[in-house]
């Protein structure tokens, strides 16, 4: 769900005032996000709010939605900007945070659209190209029935890895 900020367009604020839930597609979130990597570990000792305010103070064009520290990667951050153009500028010009982060240290987030088959739940083809004759239950993994008619009381089973 998109959180409103003082930089949100007026139309979004109007919709929010009228009770509509505003959400952003995963594709657009990826377009607004970059990964900053290979920087001084001192930066990751700071809180995400301090990192965000430092980035916005030193890069006056940048308005940041969120900063996420990547677990098990001590020198990597995911930065989501409020606008696609800000992410593009970070990729081309770099960022300042106590020192200059070179554009080579910044990568775009990649979005991989995955379309599952809703007949057999495999990920290498679509429903129209499915070779399975009978529907497979998404709960127990058995052929011949679907989720609505499943009588299994055991824990759900992954269809792909069992």
Question: Model-level pTM?
Answer: 0.67
- Is residue 140 included in any domain, yes or no? yes
Q: What is the CATH number of the domain that holds 162?
A: 4.10.60
95 lies in the same domain as 119: no
Please list the residues that pair with 96 across neighbouring strands: 100
DSSP state of 119: T
CA proximity to 83, closest of 59, 56, 63, 108: 63
| pLDDT, tens digit (0-9, with 9 covering 90-100), for 18-40 | 888 777 888 889 999 999 999 88
Question: What is the extent of the structural domain holding 122?
Answer: 114-162
Do 56 and 97 fall within a single domain? yes
Instruction: Give residue-wise pLDDT tens across range 115-154.
Output: 888 888 888 888 888 888 777 888 888 888 877 888 887 7
Are 124 and 148 members of one domain?
yes
Report the number of distinct structural domains present in the chain.
Answer: 2
Last residue of a domain, one of 88, 108, 128: 108
Domain boundary among 108, 129, 154: 108
Cα radius of gyration rounded to whole Å, the chain = 22
Q: Which residue from 123, 61, 121 is spatially nearest to 86, judged by alpha carbons?
A: 61
What mean pLDDT do residues 38-67 have? 93
Q: How far apart are CA 137 and CA 148, in angstroms?
A: 9
CATH classification of the domain holding 88: 3.30.70.330
Query: Residue 41: is it exposed, middle or buried by C-beta count within 10 angstroms (0-12/13-18/19+)?
Result: exposed
Pair (104, 119) in one structural domain: no
């Amino acid at each position: 769900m998109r959180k409103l900020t003082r930089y949100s367009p007026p139309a979004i604020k109007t919709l929010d005032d009228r009770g509509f839930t505003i959400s952003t597609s995963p594709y657009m979130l990826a377009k607004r996000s970059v990964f900053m990597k290979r920087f001084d570990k001192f930066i990751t000792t700071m809180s995400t709010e301090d990192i965000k305010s430092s980035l916005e103070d030193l890069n006056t064009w940048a308005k940041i939605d969120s900063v996420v520290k990547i677990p098990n990667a001590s020198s990597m951050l995911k930065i989501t900007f409020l606008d696609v153009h800000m992410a593009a500028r970070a990729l081309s010009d770099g960022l300042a945070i106590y020192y200059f982060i070179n554009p080579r240290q910044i990568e775009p987030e990649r979005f991989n659209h995955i379309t599952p088959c809703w007949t057999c739940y495999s990920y290498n083809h679509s429903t129209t190209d499915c070779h399975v004759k009978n529907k497979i239950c998404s709960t127990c993994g058995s052929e011949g029935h679907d989720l609505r008619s499943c009588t299994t009381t055991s824990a759900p089973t992954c269809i792909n890895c069992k």
